[in-house]
Amino acid sequence: MTPNKPLASIYVRVSTEDQVKHGISLSAQEEALQNYAKALGYEVYRIYKDEGKSGKDIKGRPELQQLLEDAKNKKFQALFIYKLDRLSRSLKDLIETIEKFKEWNVDFVSLQDKIETTSASGKLMFHIISSFAEFERNVTSERTKFAMAKKAKDGDVITRAPLGYKIESKLLIPGEHSYVVNEIYNEFLHNNISLTQLAKKYALSVNGLKKVLSNYTYLGKVKFDGQIIPGKHQPLISSTLFNQVQEKLKSVLRGR
């Protein structure tokens, strides 16, 4: 390796279909990319080759997996590819992979697509691609939140079953030891026992105990996104007991 020269890696892929239809060879991609990398002042660190592999996703491509590992470990400063679809034909995979290179401070160059983060215009395109990644994450988050809100409004379970319940046919039903919840609430309310002692007695962490003592699920309700709505499940304690426990819990936590 030449001292002080930045290192670049090259990734080439060609599927059997590409070779038959277009006659695109690995050697042709390699030569063009090596010349371009050298013209930009890079020394080639390694050429990663996936031959006869599909571009539908990045799984099942051992050389690409090794490239990503080496990029993460900062073994080179730039990646050169022939076209974006050499990396992946899946837009989702492509965006996520380019985001990783950005996170690892690895410059990205796609020869045929004229995308390269070594120039101002290339960096702009890189930011545009990153914006699409953020947009896709936000859309996915909104869809997930909408689906969970719908389940909550319908009274369905949106998390795992809390202490005292089990799940059957996607609904909460009292479990074999559902009486324990009432026992914990009453012991906390009527006895002079610390949260640490009570948690230890029921094999819970202190934080786990506090969640039990403030869980609206035990009232037959569902709490989601700041809203408390009626559920379809059977309550395990009365609202009077719950409210009394909340008052004492607040007092105990203030005094700590």
**Which residues are part of the catalytic machinery?**
15
CA atoms of 95 and 93, how far apart (whole Å): 6
Neighbours of 89 (CB within 10 A): 14
Helix axes 206-213, 179-190, angle to 10 degrees: 100
Cα–Cα distances in Å, from 45 out to 76, 77, 94, 203, 218? 7, 9, 23, 55, 61
Residue among 175, 239, 249 nearest 212 (CA): 249
Residue among 144, 140, 109 nearest 126 (CA): 109
Residue among 19, 6, 7, 9 nearest 87 (CA): 9
